[in-house]
Amino acid sequence: MVITDPSFKLLLNAAAAAIGTLEMKAMRIHKLGPLSPGNPPLVEDDVPVPVPGPSELLVKVHACGVCHTEIDEIEGRTPPANLPMTPGHQVVGSAVSEGRGCRRGLLNQRVGIAWIHSACGECRWCLQGRENLCPRFSACGRDAAGGYAEYMVVPEAFAHLLPAGLGDQETTPLLCAGAVGYRALSLCKLVNGQALGLTGFGASGHLVLQMAKHLYPDSPVFVFARSEKERAFASELGAAWTGNTTDRVESGLDAIIDTTPAWLPVLSAMEALAPGGRLVINAIRKEASDHEILASLDYERHLWREKSLSTVANVTRRDVRECLNLAAEIPLEPHVSTFPLESANDALLELKQGDIRGARVLSIS
């Protein structure tokens, strides 16, 4: 391990002399179960600061975004590989030490860490540039310890040098909500002037709307959301039209991105598409209790006339890089609310209750 940061060296040496091992704070999942006010899922633990292996970076975490996927982990829909687990996959920090074999010159640089923690680099999917589909895909905060902590390690190849001008807290949602939204927008294959729909308007939707207005300035954006607050927020950001999830628009839309966990918005979106329109589902799961809604699927009304449906699975490093560069170019303005690390349970509960505007971020001193 190579350490060049003087302040970290002093801290490491002092701690080693005093207690033998440097420790840090981490909010960790110890057991799975429903997230509720009386059942905080994360426990504040004192754990050893991890040591980077060959070709790994040790990152001092400055901020970490709070994502719905963490709720899915806690409640068992996409469970951690092992327990206890430190969640968090929208991480901004500084590389303070590196393992032997690191070659990218990221030491002492500000870096971002996204959902993709590693991939094999050898399978047919990786070789096609579709590492998001790698059978050995490893997720940050689910398969490897994430950013709800003061420090974490990441393979050097999967750390992202951050553009200047993007603040720590504001950058965090770009690493997941932004990057996966960017991938979904790319899959829409939109042409400037074509109409885009967004079903659901949370952390990803408010970023995609800003991206779409920059990339396709003549394309009207229609936002479907149950929450009146979300619809008002979308109007503030320049949506051409807002309505409830099942409301109808006068003419068909050329593409729609669905970010909801339910099936009803999928059928509503398919019906709202113009002939040849494309629906992209950007969600890690759909509610099992909603399956009966699919019984109302009508081929002529929902699918006929060459409508298509695709899904987004994870992100690639290229998605993250291009999203960060686009964000700096626009410049993108993520709306964030910050919480201290020890209040991670409160941030998750607010997110689950749905009373959100933009993204939730843990600020870690």
What pLDDT was estimated at residue 14?
45
Distance CA 66, CA 356 (A): 12
Task: Reply yes or no on whether the pLDDT at 82 is more than 50.
Answer: yes
Cα-Cα-Cα-Cα torsion 260, 264, 268, 270, nearest 10 degrees, comes to 80
Task: Reply yes or no on whether the pLDDT at 261 is more than 90.
Answer: no
| Length reported for the chain | 365
Q: Could you tell me the pTM of the whole model? A: 0.89
Task: Reply yes or no on whether the pLDDT at 275 is more than 90.
Answer: yes
Give per-residue burial for 56-87: e unless 16+ CB within 10 Å, then b: bbbbbbbbbbbbbbbbbbbeeeeebeeeebbb
Give the residue-averaged pLDDT of 242-249: 91
Q: What is the mean pLDDT of the chain?
A: 91
Task: Reply yes or no on whether the pLDDT at 365 is more than 80.
Answer: no
More confident of the two residues 296 and 214: 214
The domains found in the chain, sorted by start residue, are 6-173+334-363 (3.90.180.10), 178-311 (3.40.50.720)
Distance CA 347, CA 361 (A): 8
Give the residue-averaged pLDDT of 21-33: 94
CA 19 remoteness from chain centre: 37
Give the residue-averaged pLDDT of 243-259: 92
Task: Reply yes or no on whether the pLDDT at 312 is more than 80.
Answer: yes
Distance CA 100, CA 98 (A): 7
Q: Where are the beta strands (DSSP E) in 172-236?
A: 196-199, 221-224
Q: Answer whether 140's CB lies under 8 Å from 154's CB.
A: yes
What pLDDT was estimated at residue 250?
82
What pLDDT was estimated at residue 19?
39
Which of 152, 278, 137 has its CA nearest to residue 269? Answer: 278
What pLDDT was estimated at residue 156?
98
Give the residue-averaged pLDDT of 135-144: 98
Give the residue-averaged pLDDT of 220-243: 94
Distance CA 247, CA 339 (A): 35
Percent of the chain residues topping a pLDDT of 70: 93
Task: Reply yes or no on whether the pLDDT at 354 is more than 80.
Answer: no
Give the residue-averaged pLDDT of 294-320: 91
What pLDDT was estimated at residue 255?
98
More confident of the two residues 290 and 95: 95
Write out the two tokens for 239: 């949506």
* Distances from the Cα of 128 to the Cα of 111, 119, 156, 237, 282, angstroms: 26, 13, 21, 36, 21
CA 235 remoteness from chain centre: 23
Q: Which of 182-186, 321-325, 352-356 has the lowest mean pLDDT?
A: 352-356
Neighbours of 173 (CB within 10 A): 29
CA-based end-to-end distance of the chain: 24
Of all helices (H) and strands (E), which one includes residue 29? strand 23-29
Write out the two tokens for 103: 């070659």
Give the residue-averaged pLDDT of 21-42: 93
- Alpha helix (H) ranges present in 89-167? 124-127
More confident of the two residues 294 and 60: 60
Task: Reply yes or no on whether the pLDDT at 69 is more than 60.
Answer: yes
Q: Please state the φ and ψ torsions of residue 116, each to the nearest 5 degrees.
A: -80, 105
What pLDDT was estimated at residue 13?
45
Task: Reply yes or no on whether the pLDDT at 256 is more than 70.
Answer: yes
More confident of the two residues 355 and 71: 71
- AA letter at 92: V
**pLDDT confidence of 251, banded at 50, 70, 90?**
confident
